[in-house]
Amino acid sequence: MNCTSCKNGTLFPSFIEGQFRAHTCSNCGGNWILIEDYVSWKERNQDYEFSEEISVEESEITESKKAMLCPSSGTIMRKFRISSQNEHKVDYSSVVGGLWLDKGEWELLKSEGLAGCLNSVVTQSWQRNIRQDSAKQNFADIYKAKFGDDTYSKVKEMRAWLMSQEHKSDLRAYLLAEDPYSAEK
């Protein structure tokens, strides 16, 4: 197979950290992993924990920004974000169930604590959670910019207290009334 990323290398059989099968590019160092091989290895090694104590510099990680073709099927692969805290994306071929990791991406996944759940990253529920977390963070950033950090922190605390109260709707009505002691609106 030829490399889907650099187009100059060939993919040769290898193992990621000597643990599970992959195909590594002879030129760019990227890895082609079949999720089936990864899951099979995980099932046989349920107690294995990937070391997360790794420092990854952004300069050590390459990420292909362009659309990539699956080295097995030739179809376009989809890009999946790895987490809501990281904009980095990996390429996945749903046709063959394969994942392309550019050079340094495996180390990034380990440093983010995601190496042990590689198969989950490409699921709809994982990606939906990332979108929801990102939306929450966007709103939090908007509120912080609008209110300031101190006020936003206090309002969040008040909101949490209010939501924990039994008569929250009455409390909200009281707080929002221009004059809560008046019989008029």
Residue of 79, 86, 128, 125 whose CA lies nearest to 101:
79
The confidence band for 59, taking pLDDT boundaries of 50, 70 and 90, is very low
Is residue 36 domain-shared with residue 114, that is, in the same domain?
A: yes
Q: Are residues 133 and 114 in the same domain?
A: no
**Rg for the chain (alpha carbons), in Å?**
24
Name the burial class of residue 66, with classes exposed (0-12), middle (13-18) and buried (19+) by CB atoms within 10 angstroms of its CB: exposed
- Whether residue 2 lies inside any domain: the answer is no
39 and 88 share one domain? yes
Residues 143, 107 share a domain: no
Q: What is the pLDDT of residue 117?
A: 87
Using the predicted structure, report yes or no on whether residue 60 has a pLDDT greater than 80: no
One domain for residues 105 and 55 = yes
Q: In terms of pLDDT, which residue wins out, 55 or 159?
A: 159
Say which residue the tokens 């950033």 belong to. Answer: 141
Q: Which residue type occupies 93?
A: S
Q: How many CB atoms lie within 10 A of CB 41?
A: 15
Q: Is 17 left (phi over 0), alpha (psi -120 to 50) or beta?
A: left
Domain that holds residue 88: 11-120
Confidence band of 185 (pLDDT split at 50, 70, 90): low
Q: Are residues 90 and 146 in the same domain?
A: no
Instruction: Read off the pLDDT of residues 92-150 as tens digits, 9 standing for 90 and up.
Output: 999 999 999 999 999 999 888 898 888 899 999 999 999 999 999 999 999 999 999 99
For residue 69, the SS3 value is strand
With beta carbons less than 8 A apart as the criterion, state whether 98 and 55 touch.
no
Q: How confident is the model at residue 65 (pLDDT cuts 50, 70, 90)?
A: confident
Residue 155 belongs to some domain of the structure: yes
| Domain termination site, one of 120, 140, 158 | 120
Task: Give the span between the Cα atoms of 178 and 181, in whole angstroms.
Answer: 9
Asked whether the beta carbons of 30 and 5 are under 8 A apart, the reply is yes
Both 26 and 116 in a single domain?
yes
Instruction: Check pLDDT > 50 for residue 53.
Output: yes
Tally DSSP H helices, then E strands, for the chain.
6, 6
**Statement: the pTM of the whole predicted model exceeds 0.85:** no
**pLDDT, mean of residues 69-77:** 93
Residue 102 belongs to some domain of the structure: yes
Residue 167 belongs to some domain of the structure: yes
Same domain? For 62 and 150 the reply is: no
Q: Which pLDDT does position 45 carry in this prediction?
A: 83
Domain count, the chain: 2
Q: What is the mean pLDDT of residues 27-49?
A: 90
**Domain endpoint, select from 120, 147, 166:** 120
88 and 138 co-located in one domain? no
Residues 16 and 98 occupy one common structural domain: yes
Average pLDDT over residues 41-69: 72
Closest CA to 24 of 40, 11, 42, 41: 11
User: Is residue 182 a part of any domain in this protein?
Assistant: no
The total of other beta-carbon atoms located within 10 Å of residue 1's CB is 13
pLDDT in tens, 3-36: 989 999 999 999 998 889 999 999 999 999 999 9
